[in-house]
Amino acid sequence: MLSIKEHLTILYCFVDTYVKQHPQHAQWRRSNNHQPALTDAEVITIALMQGYFQTPTLKRTYDLVRANDPRAFPKLCSYKQWIARLHALAPLIGELFTAVPVALAELDDLYLMDAQPTRCVTRCGTGESACSEKTGRTLGRPRRAGSSASSCTRW
């Protein structure tokens, strides 16, 4: 497992590179403080550390980053200011995730999760269905990506 410094560095480099390559996303600010001490990349990096710490809340993640590596973000603002900035950056975060290429064939342990029963989608032209023909629904349980239709949990 990577150390907190290594994980922070990797995340920050990725996010900062993306933000610098897409300067149009910094246009959301409408104040005199167009260059805040804490950059957008730093705000997003702290939020992405939630996976590293496996915490249920962003508040806990913020507190852990501040406590475990205070020198990583010397100009860290208050939690209230940070969370407001994070919410303002939501569109950028969404685009950031779409920039991460994922080759499903290379992932051995990818599971798809669904919290609600969903309508069945039939693949175009193949007639293949991933769920019951009667109800057109599946239960919200994990299913291995690429598994056959017969392995679906059905109602």
pLDDT in tens, 133-149: 444 444 444 444 444 44
Q: Round to whole Å and give the CA distance between 150 and 142.
A: 14
- Residue 93 and residue 33 in one domain: yes
Q: What is the pLDDT of residue 141?
A: 40
Q: Which residues of 9-153 form beta strands (DSSP E)?
A: 111-112, 118-119, 137-138, 143-144
**DSSP assigned state of 99:** T
The beta-strand segments (E) located in 1-155 are: 111-112, 118-119, 137-138, 143-144
Same domain, 93 and 140: no
Q: What is the pLDDT of residue 153?
A: 39
Task: Please report, for residues 5, 98, 99, 105, 110, the alpha-carbon distance to residue 102 in angstroms, rounded to integers and kept in the order given.
Answer: 25, 9, 9, 9, 11
Judge if 155 and 114 occupy the same domain.
Answer: yes
At 70 the pLDDT is 87
Kindly give, in sequence order, each residue whose CB lies less than 8 Å from that of residue 53, ignoring residues fewer than 6 positions away: 60, 61, 64
Q: What per-residue confidence (pLDDT) applies to 98?
A: 80
Assess whether 56 and 114 both reside in one domain. Answer: no
User: Could you list the residue range(s) of the whole structural domain that residue 147 is in?
Assistant: 105-155
Q: Output the CA torsion sign for 79, 82, 88, 91.
A: negative
Asked which of 98, 122, 141 is the last residue of a domain, the reply is 98
Total number of domains constituting the chain: 2
Contact of 92 with 25, CB cutoff 8 Å = yes
- For residues 72 and 5, the answer to whether their CB atoms sit within 8 Å is yes
Which of 83, 98, 113 represents a domain boundary (last residue)?
Answer: 98
Last residue of one domain, picked from the residues 51, 82, 98? 98
Phi, psi values for residue 119, rounded to 5°: -65, 145
* pTM exceeding the 0.75 threshold for the entire prediction: no
pLDDT score recorded for residue 120: 52
Which three-class secondary structure state does DSSP give residue 8? helix
Please tell me the predicted confidence (pLDDT) of residue 64. Answer: 95
Q: Tell whether 57 and 112 lie within a shared domain.
A: no
C-alpha torsion 101→105→110→112, nearest 10:
80
Do 89 and 132 share a domain, yes or no? no
Q: Looking at the structure, do residues 14 and 40 belong to the same domain, yes or no?
A: yes
Query: What is the rounded distance in angstroms from the CA atom of residue 23 to the CA atom of residue 55?
Result: 31
Same domain, 114 and 149: yes
Ranges of the chain whose pLDDT falls below 50: 122-127, 129, 131-155
66 and 88 in a single domain? The answer is yes
Looking at residue 32, its pLDDT comes to 61
Are residue 92 and residue 134 in the same domain, yes or no? no
Residues 113 and 93 in one domain: no
Say whether both 15 and 78 belong to one domain: yes
